[in-house]
Structure 1
């Protein structure tokens, strides 16, 4: 049994590192989002295509990492632990995540070129509000996914040694 635990830790410990990197990407995405929102709120005319492109790239990188790295790895972990209930929950969560993925792709398409960016600049504040709501929901769903598919299979941290009473 101890050997199984050790091999599971070796096998899935890398998932934790992958998740940590992804959550750091999330933090960077939020910083980029806030910068875009502040500029948009202060003076829409000052929003430039490179700032939209930079934010959009962070957004696409984050979404891609989730779909192509994190979610499959979490599902593989659940399968390795024969956690069919977690896989069923994950399927439902992934369906809901797909809605915000579509929203992100629409945003990226709408501001993809300089001409489109100029044409749709007046809609940017509405997009920022829509993205705020969509990303808030997405992050909550992803946190549920991590909790159910990864944290549930992570062995508890060793309890601290009891201190002798004085």
Structure 2
């Protein structure tokens, strides 16, 4: 019995660690999103270019963290609680869609030199960033459902 209890406590400790890592990368990404959005209207300057590159890197780190810290943990059957598995399974297709949108944004802007581009790219950046903000908000709501389930707050 004590070894079963220790194994369960160890698994819960790992899940808390993974959630803390996810929340940390998510917070960093949102902070950089806000910093980039504050540069609007966008200009082809070095400060905006650096803010965009920093944000793109954080965005990919966040998407990877969510995948490896949370969903892979569940898909590798390291999570045993049925409510968590059910919540994760029901929202994963929508999470995958948000990941695709994140990757498209990154692919479009990661290597762009704003100092060498035309005004059309800068206008697209503003619209794409707004759309991405909505995507991130949806993703966070979905992730929070899994986090709540892992914390035992499933209704």
Bigger radius of gyration among the two: 1
Q: Please list, as runs of the form range in 1=range in 2, the aligned pairs for 1:1-166 lying within 5 A after superposition.
A: 3-40=3-40, 43-45=41-43, 46=45, 48-75=48-75, 76-78=77-79, 80-81=80-81, 83=82, 85-114=83-112, 118-119=117-118, 120-148=121-149, 150-152=150-152
Report if the CA contact (8 A) 1:12-1:77 is conserved.
no
TM-score by length of 2: 0.82
Q: Which structure 1 segments of 5+ residues have no match?
A: 154-166
Deviation sequence 1:53-102 (CA, Å, 0-9, x none) = 11010000000111123212144343x34x2x542331221101111111
C-alpha separation in 2, matches of 1:6 and 1:16: 15
C-alpha separation in 2, matches of 1:20 and 1:12: 12
CA RMSD of aligned residues (A): 2.3
Deviation sequence 1:30-67 (CA, Å, 0-9, x none) = 11000001112xx3114632221110100000001111
Q: Which structure is richer in relative contact order (CA contacts within 8 A, separation 6 or more)?
A: 2
Question: 1:39 aligns to what SS in structure 2?
Answer: coil
Name the residue aligned to 1:163. Answer: none
C-alpha separation in 2, matches of 1:69 and 1:10: 16
Deviation of 1:128 after TM superposition, in Å, equals 1.6
Q: Which structure 2 segments of 5+ residues have no match?
A: none
Deviation of 1:144 after TM superposition, in Å, equals 0.4
Question: 2:39 aligns to what SS in structure 1?
Answer: helix
C-alpha separation in 2, matches of 1:86 and 1:12: 12
C-alpha separation in 2, matches of 1:38 and 1:114: 19
Report if the CA contact (8 A) 1:29-1:55 is conserved.
yes
